[in-house]
Amino acid sequence: MDIILTVAVPACALLALAAALFNSLRLRRLSEGEEAQKKIAKAIRSGAGAYLKRQYTTVAVIFAVVFVIFLALSLTGMMAKYTPFAFITGGFFSALSGFIGMKIATYSNARTAVAAKSSLNKGLRAAFSAGSVMGLVVVGLGLTDMTIWYLLLKFVFGEPEAQIAQYMVTFGVGASFMALFARVGGGIFTKAADVGADLVGKVEAGIPEHDPRNPAVIADNVGDNVGDVCGMGADLYESYVGSIVSAMALMAAAGLADGAKILVPMLIAGAGIIASVIGSFFVRTKENASQASLLRALRTGTYIASAIVAVAAFPIIWFVLGSDKIGVYFAVLCGLAAGALIGFFTEYFTSAEYKPTKDLAGTSKTGSATIMIGGLALGMKSTVLPVVIVSAAVLGSFFLAGGSLESPENGLFGVAIAAVGMLSTLGITLACDAYGPVADNAGGIAEMSGLDPEVRERTDALDSLGNTTAATGKGFAIGSAALTSLALIVSFKTTVESYASPDVFHLEITNPAVLIGLFIGGMVTFLFAALTMEAVGKAAQSIVLEVRRQFKEIAGIMEGKAEPDYRTCVDLCTKSALHKMILPALIALVTPVVTGLILGVNGVMGMLAGAMVTGFLLAVFMANSGGAWDNAKKYIEAGNYGGKGSDCHKAAVVGDTVGDPFKDTSGPALNILIKFLSIVSIIFAQLIVNFSLIK
Amino acid sequence: MDIILTVAVPACALLALAAALFNSLRLRRLSEGEEAQKKIAKAIRSGAGAYLKRQYTTVAVIFAVVFVIFLALSLTGMMAKYTPFAFITGGFFSALSGFIGMKIATYSNARTAVAAKSSLNKGLRAAFSAGSVMGLVVVGLGLTDMTIWYLLLKFVFGEPEAQIAQYMVTFGVGASFMALFARVGGGIFTKAADVGADLVGKVEAGIPEHDPRNPAVIADNVGDNVGDVCGMGADLYESYVGSIVSAMALMAAAGLADGAKILVPMLIAGAGIIASVIGSFFVRTKENASQASLLRALRTGTYIASAIVAVAAFPIIWFVLGSDKIGVYFAVLCGLAAGALIGFFTEYFTSAEYKPTKDLAGTSKTGSATIMIGGLALGMKSTVLPVVIVSAAVLGSFFLAGGSLESPENGLFGVAIAAVGMLSTLGITLACDAYGPVADNAGGIAEMSGLDPEVRERTDALDSLGNTTAATGKGFAIGSAALTSLALIVSFKTTVESYASPDVFHLEITNPAVLIGLFIGGMVTFLFAALTMEAVGKAAQSIVLEVRRQFKEIAGIMEGKAEPDYRTCVDLCTKSALHKMILPALIALVTPVVTGLILGVNGVMGMLAGAMVTGFLLAVFMANSGGAWDNAKKYIEAGNYGGKGSDCHKAAVVGDTVGDPFKDTSGPALNILIKFLSIVSIIFAQLIVNFSLIK
C-alpha cells in the first residue's frame, strides 16, 4: 500500500497541472477581439511582464545573498544541510505560481471582455477558467515541490521519516520569502496606481474609472495583475505548502509519522485537488442568468468540493493513520467548517447585502471623517467572530485529535491538520478569488476600447461578484494563517528541543524575555503594516502629481484628442514598489534572528506569539475595513444616498481609497508575515540556541 | 522609625490637599471678567455639572448592583471580605478627583481668559494653577484613600503586612471601574461635540472654531471639562493608585513587606508630592515671555520635580528597605527615565516641530485620503520606540532589582516600583496636562465674548503648548499602564497560587487555553476601541444633523441676530455618552470572568497578556495618530501649505476629526482597560479557580 500512496500524491499534483493546461488551452481558443482590445491587452501584458521581470531580478539578487549566508551557516553546521537548497526551490516555485497566474490572467482579460459580449455566462466561464488555471497551478506546483523533496530525502538520501518531516518544515522559507516580496511589491504597485488614478481621475477630474484619458489607467490594470493575481498566487502557494509541511512536522513530533503515514497531509491535499477539479465542473449557469445565480454557481462548486474532501478524508485517516486515530478526521472537519464560517462572516461584514456595510454607507451623509471612523470601527469590531471561530477550531481540533495538557502532541497535530483541511480545496477557492481581477481588467478593457455599455454592465456584475468571493478568500487566507502559524510556532519549540535540553524553556509570563518578546512581536506587525501603507501612500502621491501634471501639460488630453503618457505612471509604480518592498521583507527576516540572539528562545517564542495574535487581529481588521469601504462605495454608486457624484459618494471614495492599501497591501501581507517569522525562527533555531545573550 | 514613616505618608497626602486648597483660593481671587465672560462660563459650568450629575447617578446605580454581587460573593467566601467596601471607596475617590478637577477648571476658564488680557505669563499662571489643583487633588486623594485602608487593616483589623498588600491590590477595582466610565463617557461627550461642531461649523459653514453662532459650541466647551479634565482625573487617579498597590503586592510576594517596609511605594509617592509642589514654584516666566520660554518654564518645573524624586528615593530605599536592596533604587530610576523618554518620543511623533508631523501635513496636498493613510501609518510606526523603551525598562528594572529566571520575585517587584517611579511626579505632570483644556476653554470664552483678538492669540499660544504637554502626559499614562498591568498580571498569578497549588499553571503556548486567551485578550482591546469610536461617530452624526437643522430653521443665526439653541446639543451629547459608555465597561467587567470560567486560570493569564500587548500597541498608535493629525492641521493653519481655508486645510480637518476619538476617547480608555481586566481577574481569582470548566 505504501507504494500506491507514494504514487497517489504526485499523481494528484500532475492531475492539477494537467487540468490547468487543459483549461488554458481552451482559453487560448477564445477570441481576443478587435484591434482595440488587443492593443490594450498587449499594453497591460507588457507592463505586467516588465514589472515582474524587474521584480524577479531584484528578488533574485536578494535570494542569492541569503542563499550564500544560509550555505555558510549550513556548512558550519548551524543550519540543516538541505535548507539552502529548499530555500531556492520554494522561492522558485512560488515565483512560478505567481508568474503563470499573471500570464494567464493577462491573456484572459480581453477574452473575458469579448466573451461577455455574447452573454454573462460566457464571461463568467472565461474569467473563472483563468482563475482556475491559477488555482490549479498553485496547488499542483506546491504538491510537486513537496513530493520531489520527499522522494529525494527518502529514497536518495535515505533519511528516516521523522527527520524528513523536520527538514521539510524549513522548506516553506523560500516560498514565504518570495511571497512576502510578491505581496508587498505587487500590493504597493497595484494600490499606488489604483489610489493615484482614483484620486485625480474620479475625485478631481470627475471622469469614470478606467477612462482612457486617465494617464494612470494602464498602470491600474497592470497592478491588478501583478498585485491581486501574481502576489496572491505566491501568497497562497506559501500558505498551502506551509500548512502541509507544518502538519507533517507536528505529526513527527507526535510520533505518528512512520512509513507512509507521513503522507497523510499530502493525501488530504491531493483529495482536495480531485475535489476542486470536480467542483469546477459545477460552476456554470444558464445563458440569461442573474447575478445571484452566478454567485450560486460559484458557491455550488466550492461546497461540492468541500463535501468531497469531507468524505474522502475519512478513509485516508481510517486506513492510513489507523482507526484509533479517527479523531484526526474530526480535526479536518473542524478546519473545513471554520474556513466556511470565517468566509461567511467576512462576507457579512463586508458585503453591501448586509447591515454593517449598509450602515457604513449611511455614515457618508456627514462626510468623509465619519465614514472613516465608521469603517475603522467596523473593521475592529469584525475581529470578534473570527477570533471566536479560530478559538473554537483550535479547541475542537486539539481535543478531538486526542490532545491533553499533559501530552499535547496529538492535539497540536490536530490543529495543524485542521489548517490543511481548511486549505485543501484551495484549487477551487483560489479560482473563485483570482477570477475577480480578470473580470476587473475585462471591464477596464471594455471601457477603454469603447465596447457596448451592456458589455461593461456584464463585466461590472462579474467584478462585483469577484469582490464577494475575494472577501471569502481573504477569510480563508487569514484563518489558515492563524492555524498554520500556531503549528509553526510549536514546530520551532520541537526544533529547539532537538538541539537543546527541554528545560531551556521558561515560557511563563513572569519571564521578562517572554514578555518583551510578546511586545516586540506585536510591534513588528504594526511596523510592517505602517511601512507598507506608507509606501502606498507615498507612491500614490507621486502618481497623483504626475497625472495632474499630464492633465495640465498635455493639450487635448481631456477632450480625448491627445493620448496620455501611460508609461511614466507604470514606471513610477514599478520604481516605488521595488524600492519599498525591500525594507519590510528584511525586517521580517532580521527580527527573529536579532530577538533570538538577544532574548534567547523564550524571547523568540514570546515574539512569535505576539506577532501571531496581533498580526491576525490587524489583518482581519484591515481586510474587513477595506472591504466594507469598497462595497459601501459600490452601494452608493448603485444609486443609494444620492448615487455617483453626490457628496456621499465623494466621502465614500475617500473611505475606499484608504481601504485600498488596508485590504490589498498591508492586510494580506500580514498573513504571510506571521508565518514567515515562525519559519525563519525554525531555520535559525540552532544558531539562536548556541549564541543567544540571555539563555 | 516605623511611626515616623507611618505618619509621613498621610502628611504628604495632606500637604498635597492643602497646596491644592491654597491654589484654588488664590484662583478664586482672580476676576472672572465682565458679564459676557461670566455668562458663558456659567453656561459651561452648569452644562458640565448637569452632565456629571447624570453620569454619577447612572454609575452609582451600576456600582450599587456590582456592590451587591461582590457582597454576596464575599459572604460566600468567594471574594476577599474587604473588596466590596474598597470597591466603593476607590470609586468614590476617583469620582471625587474628577469632580473637583472639573469644578476648578470651570471656575478658572474665564479667569484665565481675563488674566491673559494682562499678559501671557498671567494667563499661564492662572491656567497652570487650575491644572495643579487637579494634579495635587488626584495624588492627595489617592494617597489618602490608601493610607486610610492601610491604617484600618493594620491597626483596626490587625492584618499582617503580607495580607494587607494582598488585600490592597484589589482596591484599585473601584477606581478603575469609575475611571472607565469617566473616560469613556466623558470621551464620547467631548469628541462627539468637538467632531460635530467642527464638521458643520468649520468644514461646511466655514465659521471659525468656538464661534458663538455654532449651536454645538457650548457642548464642545462642556466636553473639554467632562472629558479632558474630569475623565483624565479619574483615569490618572486609577493609574496612580494601581501602580502603588500593585508594587505593594509584589513586594509582599517577594517577601520584602515586613513592618514599615511595605510603605516604601507610598513613601516614594509622598516624596513625589513634595517634589511636585516644589517644582510648581518654578513654573513662571517673564511678563513678555515667548511661547518657547513658556514651554521651558513647564519643563523646568517637571525636571526639577523628577530630580528631587531621583535624590529622595535613594535614602528611602537605603534606610527603609536596606542597603542590600539598593538595586531597587535603580529600578525607580529606570521608571523615571523611561517616562521621560516615552514623553519625548511621543512629542517627537506628534509635534509639528519635528519631521513626522511636518511630513504628514505635506500628505494633505493630495487630499484627505492620503493624509488618512499617512496618519495611520505614522501612528503604527510610532509604536516602535515606546516598545523598545518599555522593554528596556522592564529588563533593566527586573535585573537591577535582583531578579533572575529561577527567582523572579525581586525583579518583578522592581518592574512594579519602576511604574511607581514613573508616576511619582504625577502632581506636576498632570498639572501640565490638565492646564491644556483650561486654556482651550479660555480661548473659547475669549472668542465668544468678543475679547480683543490679542487675548485670543495668547490663549491660542497657551492652548498649543497644552497640546505638547498633553502628548507628553499621554506618554506617561501609556508607559505606566504597561508596567502596572504587568505587575497586576503577576499579582493575579500570586493570588491564584494562594488559593490553588502552583502546578495549576501550564503557561506554555502549546496549551490551547493560553493561546485562545491571547487571542481573546487582543480581540477585546480591538472591540473596545471599536465600540468607543463608533459611539463617537454616531453621536457626532446626531450633532451634525442637529446643527444643520438649526442653521436651516433658526432665521438670522448666521448673521448673529438669533441665538442658537445650545441646550439641545448638550442634551444630545449627554444622552449618547451615558447610553454608550455602559456596554464597553460591562464587556471589560465580564471578559475576565467568562474567560476564567471557561478556560481557567491559564486562559485568563493568556487573555491578560494578549490584552496588555495589543492594548498597549493600539493605545500608542491611536494616541499618536490623533496627536499628529491635530498638530498637522495646526501647522497648516499657521500658514503652511496654503493655510486656513485651503484644500490642504480641509483635508487636514478630516484627519483631525478622525484623530479626535483616536486620541481622546479610545486611546486613553485602552490604558484603563488593560489594568482593569487584570484587577477584575484578581478579585475573581478564587471563583475562577473553583469553578472553571477547563482546569
Q: How far B535 CA lies from chain A's nearest CA (Å)?
A: 9
**pLDDT tens string B385-430:** 999 999 999 999 999 999 888 888 999 999 999 999 999 999 999 9
The answer to whether B149 and B138 have CB atoms below 8 angstroms apart is no
pLDDT attached to residue A233 = 87
Q: Are A493 and B509 in contact (CB < 8 Å)?
A: yes
Q: Are B383 and A523 in contact (CB < 8 Å)?
A: yes
Q: Are A376 and B515 in contact (CB < 8 Å)?
A: no
Q: Are B516 and A391 in contact (CB < 8 Å)?
A: yes
Q: Are A381 and B511 in contact (CB < 8 Å)?
A: no
pLDDT attached to residue B427 = 93
The domain tally of chain A equals: 1
Chain A residue at shortest CA distance from B526: A380
Q: How far B534 CA lies from chain A's nearest CA (Å)?
A: 6
Give the mean model confidence (pLDDT) for residues B95-114.
92
Per the structure, the complete domain to which residue A122 belongs is given by 2-691
Please tell me the distance from the alpha carbon of residue B422 to that of residue A281, in angstroms, as a whole number: 66
Q: What cell does B272 get?
A: 513625589
Whether the pLDDT of residue A204 is over 90: the answer is: no
**pLDDT tens string A504-546:** 888 887 789 999 999 999 999 999 999 999 999 889 888 988 9
Q: Are B536 and A373 in contact (CB < 8 Å)?
A: yes
**pLDDT tens string A306-319:** 999 999 999 999 99
Q: Are A370 and B544 in contact (CB < 8 Å)?
A: yes
Q: For chain A, what percent of residues have pLDDT higher than 70?
A: 100
Chain A hits for B408, CB-CB cut-off 8 Å, are: 510-512
Top residue of B202, B380, B507, B516 to mutate, by most chain A CBs within 10 Å, is B380
pLDDT attached to residue B695 = 74
Q: What is the 3-state secondary structure (H, E, C) of B539-597?
A: HHHHHHHHHHHHHHHCCCCCCCCCCCCHHHHHHHHHHHHHHHCHHHHHHHHHHHHHHHH
Chain B hits for A363, CB-CB cut-off 8 Å, are: 537, 541
Burial class (CB in 10 A: 0-12, 13-18, 19+), B12: buried
Please tell me the distance from the alpha carbon of residue A467 to that of residue A42, in angstroms, as a whole number: 25
pLDDT band at A267 (very low <50, low <70, confident <90, very high): very high
Q: Are B366 and A199 in contact (CB < 8 Å)?
A: yes
List the one residue out of A460, A556, A438, A443 whose CA is nearest residue A37: A443
Give the mean model confidence (pLDDT) for residues B219-236.
88
Q: What cell does A234 get?
A: 505566491
Q: Are A383 and B199 in contact (CB < 8 Å)?
A: no
Q: For chain B, what percent of residues have pLDDT higher than 90?
A: 65
Chain B residue at shortest CA distance from A390: B516
Q: Cα angle at B436 between B105 and B663, to 5 degrees?
A: 115
DSSP state letter for B382: T
Chain B hits for A412, CB-CB cut-off 8 Å, are: 510
Q: How far A14 CA lies from chain B's nearest CA (Å)?
A: 37
Q: How far A204 CA lies from chain B's nearest CA (Å)?
A: 10
Chain B hits for A391, CB-CB cut-off 8 Å, are: 516, 519-520
Q: How far B407 CA lies from chain A's nearest CA (Å)?
A: 10
The answer to whether A319 and A8 have CB atoms below 8 angstroms apart is no
Q: How far B538 CA lies from chain A's nearest CA (Å)?
A: 8
Tell me chain B's radius of gyration from C-alpha atoms: 24
**pLDDT tens string B260-277:** 899 999 999 999 999 999
Top residue of B489, B509, B657, B666 to mutate, by most chain A CBs within 10 Å, is B509
Chain B residue at shortest CA distance from A399: B512
Task: Please name the member of B486, B613, B657 whose beta carbon is closest to the beta carbon of A369.
Answer: B657
Please tell me the distance from the alpha carbon of residue A491 to that of residue A253, in angstroms, as a whole number: 8
- Computed over every residue of chain A, the mean pLDDT equals 91
DSSP codes joined into one string, A347-360: HHHH-TTSHHHHHH
Q: Are A541 and B367 in contact (CB < 8 Å)?
A: no
**pLDDT tens string A111-169:** 999 999 988 888 888 999 999 999 999 999 999 999 999 999 999 999 998 889 888 88
Q: How far B573 CA lies from chain A's nearest CA (Å)?
A: 16
Chain B hits for A621, CB-CB cut-off 8 Å, are: 526
The residue type of B539 is A
Top residue of A509, A514, A544 to mutate, by most chain B CBs within 10 Å, is A509
Q: How far B533 CA lies from chain A's nearest CA (Å)?
A: 6
The answer to whether A190 and A223 have CB atoms below 8 angstroms apart is yes
The answer to whether A469 and A428 have CB atoms below 8 angstroms apart is no
Q: How far A516 CA lies from chain B's nearest CA (Å)?
A: 5
Handedness of CA B594, B598, B600, B603 (dihedral sign): negative
Q: How far B240 CA lies from chain A's nearest CA (Å)?
A: 23
Chain A hits for B360, CB-CB cut-off 8 Å, are: none
Task: Please name the member of A490, A509, A541 whose beta carbon is closest to the beta carbon of B609.
Answer: A509
More confident residue, B62 or A457: B62
Whether the pLDDT of residue B213 is over 90: the answer is: no
**pLDDT tens string B176-186:** 999 999 999 99
Chain B hits for A375, CB-CB cut-off 8 Å, are: none
Q: Are B534 and A381 in contact (CB < 8 Å)?
A: yes
Chain A residue at shortest CA distance from B661: A373
Q: Are A489 and B509 in contact (CB < 8 Å)?
A: yes
Whether the pLDDT of residue B242 is over 90: the answer is: yes
ipTM of the complex: 0.93
Whether the pLDDT of residue B658 is over 80: the answer is: yes
Which H or E run includes B279? helix B264-281
Q: What cell does B306 get?
A: 523628577
More confident residue, A61 or B209: A61
Q: Are A537 and B511 in contact (CB < 8 Å)?
A: no
Chain B hits for A400, CB-CB cut-off 8 Å, are: none
pLDDT band at A461 (very low <50, low <70, confident <90, very high): confident
Task: Please name the member of B403, B544, B613 whose beta carbon is closest to the beta carbon of A518.
Answer: B613
**Which residues have C-beta within 8 Å of that of residue B504, sequence separation ≥ 6?**
B496, B497, B600, B601, B602, B689, B695
**pLDDT tens string A627-640:** 999 999 989 988 99
Please tell me the distance from the alpha carbon of residue A592 to that of residue B330, in angstroms, as a whole number: 30
Whether the pLDDT of residue A292 is over 80: the answer is: no
Chain B residue at shortest CA distance from A656: B369
Whether the pLDDT of residue B488 is over 80: the answer is: yes
Burial class (CB in 10 A: 0-12, 13-18, 19+), B452: exposed
Q: Are A384 and B527 in contact (CB < 8 Å)?
A: yes
The residue type of B67 is F
Please tell me the distance from the alpha carbon of residue B405 to that of residue A505, in angstroms, as a whole number: 11
Q: What cell does B336 get?
A: 523615571
**Which residues have C-beta within 8 Å of that of residue A251, sequence separation ≥ 6?**
A165, A257, A261, A262, A264, A265, A413, A416
Task: Please name the member of B398, B493, B544 whose beta carbon is closest to the beta carbon of A512.
Answer: B398
pTM summary value: 0.94
- Measured CA to CA in angstroms, residue B435 lies from B109, B132, B468 at distances of 10, 8, 11
Whether the pLDDT of residue A45 is over 80: the answer is: yes
Q: Are B408 and A373 in contact (CB < 8 Å)?
A: no
Report how many Cβ contacts below 8 Å link chain A to chain B.
239
Whether the pLDDT of residue B259 is over 80: the answer is: yes
Give the mean model confidence (pLDDT) for residues A394-412.
92
**Which residues have C-beta within 8 Å of that of residue B305, sequence separation ≥ 6?**
B272, B275, B276, B278, B279, B425, B427, B428
More confident residue, A206 or A182: A182
Chain A hits for B605, CB-CB cut-off 8 Å, are: 509
Chain A hits for B516, CB-CB cut-off 8 Å, are: 391, 394-395
Q: Are A661 and B373 in contact (CB < 8 Å)?
A: yes
Chain A hits for B613, CB-CB cut-off 8 Å, are: 518-519, 521-522, 610, 613-614
Chain B hits for A519, CB-CB cut-off 8 Å, are: 387, 390-391, 613, 616-617
Whether the pLDDT of residue A10 is over 90: the answer is: yes
How far is residue B600 CA from its own chain's centroid?
Answer: 31
pLDDT band at B293 (very low <50, low <70, confident <90, very high): confident
Q: For chain B, what percent of residues have pLDDT higher than 70?
A: 100
Chain A residue at shortest CA distance from B392: A516
